[in-house]
Amino acid sequence: MSSSSAEPRGPVDSSRVPRFAGPATFARLPRLDEVGAADVAVVGVPFDSGVSYRPGARFGGNAIREASRLLRPYNPAQDAAPFELAQVADAGDIPVNPFDITEAVEGVEAGADELLGTGARLMTLGGDHTIALPLLRAVARRHGPVALLHFDAHLDTWDTYFGAPYTHGTPFRRAVEEGLLDTSALSHVGTRGPLYGRRDLDDDARMGFGIVTSADVMRRGVDEVTEQLRERIGDRPLYVSVDIDVLDPAHAPGTGTPEAGGLTSRELLEILRGLASCRLVSADVVEVAPAYDHAEITSVAASHTAYELTTIMARQIAAAR
C-alpha cells in the first residue's frame, strides 16, 4: 500500500477548479497511475451483457464518476475525511469483452486480482450484477469465504437464464457453489416484488441467505435492521454488493429492472453508515443505467453510496496503522 509512508493525495480543490471542470475521476481524486499505489482503488467495469431486461449499465461507472463531482472531502455522517485517512485513487476501468460473458467474467477476475494484489481494497462501479461473481472470486482468494451483504430488489440466486449460468440474476448461487461465501453470514436487504415461484425463496434459504425485505426496513426501522445485520456479520471479512435497484424507482429510475416499493436513498445510506464497525474488505455498486436516469437521480445516489463505503474502508485502514 502506498500511503503508510506518504501523505495521501486528495481530490482537486473545488475552490480553485470548478466542479464542472477537469477530468471526471471518482470524487475528483487522482488516477492510480498518478499516485503509484492506493489503499482503496475505485475501478469501473463497463459490462452489461448479462442483463435480462434493459441494457445500459455499461455506462454506469462513468455516470457515477460524473455525479461524484459533487462529493466533498469531509463526511460529517461518519465524522471522517476519508481522502486524508487513506490513499484513494481512481483505477480506471477493467476492460471486458462485451460479446463473450465467460471471457468477460474471467477478465474481471484477472483485473480485480491484479488490483487486490497491490494491497488495495476495491470499490467497484458497475456494470451489471454479473460482475459480482468474479469480484468475489478475487476477494475470497485473499480472505477465504466472506460474509456477504447484498442490497437488491432481487435475490440474484437463480440458476440460469436461457441456459446461461453467468448472468446478473445468478452470481450469488454460483458464489455459494464455488465456496466463496461464508454461508452463516449471508443477507439480502431490500428485496421485494413478484418471484417465479415459492421455490425461489426455498432455494435461497437452503443456500444460507437471510432476507430483510424493503417492507421490513419500513416497519422495523433502520437502527434495528442494522443491528441485526451487524450481529449476523460478526467479525468476518465482509463484502458489500449494492444493486442500485434496491432503491425505489422514485430514488433510482436509471436501472435495468426497477421494482416498486423500494428503500429510500436515506435508508440505504443510513444502513451503510451503521456498518462502520464491520470489517469491510471490498464493495461494489452496480446496475446504474444512465439512459433511463433523468436529472442524474440514480447516479447521484450511487455516488453517495460508493462514498459511504469508501469512507468505511479508509477509516479502517487508518485505524489499522
- What are the tens digits of pLDDT across the range 290-312? 999 989 999 999 999 999 999 99
Query: Can you give the pLDDT at residue 5?
Result: 55
Read off the pLDDT of each residue in 216-241 and give the average, rounded to a whole number. 98
Q: Which helix (H) or strand (E) holds 139?
A: helix 132-143
Residue 2 pLDDT > 60, yes or no? no
Mean pLDDT, the chain, integer? 97
- What confidence tens digit (pLDDT) does each residue in 254-294 have? 999 999 999 999 999 999 999 999 999 999 999 999 999 98
Residue 132 scores a pLDDT above 60: yes
| CA 268/CA 247 separation, integer angstroms | 8
Q: Maximum Cα–Cα distance for the chain, whole Å?
A: 57
Averaged pLDDT for residues 186-190:
98
CATH number of 26-319, picked from 3.40.800.10, 3.40.50.150, 3.30.70.980, 3.75.10.20 = 3.40.800.10
Domain positions in the chain: 26-319
How many alpha carbons fall within 13 Å on the CB side of residue 131?
38
Q: Per-residue confidence at 41, pLDDT binned at 50, 70, 90?
A: very high
This prediction has a pTM of 0.97
Residues forming a β-bridge with 149: 187, 240
> C-alpha 148: how far from its chain's center?
11
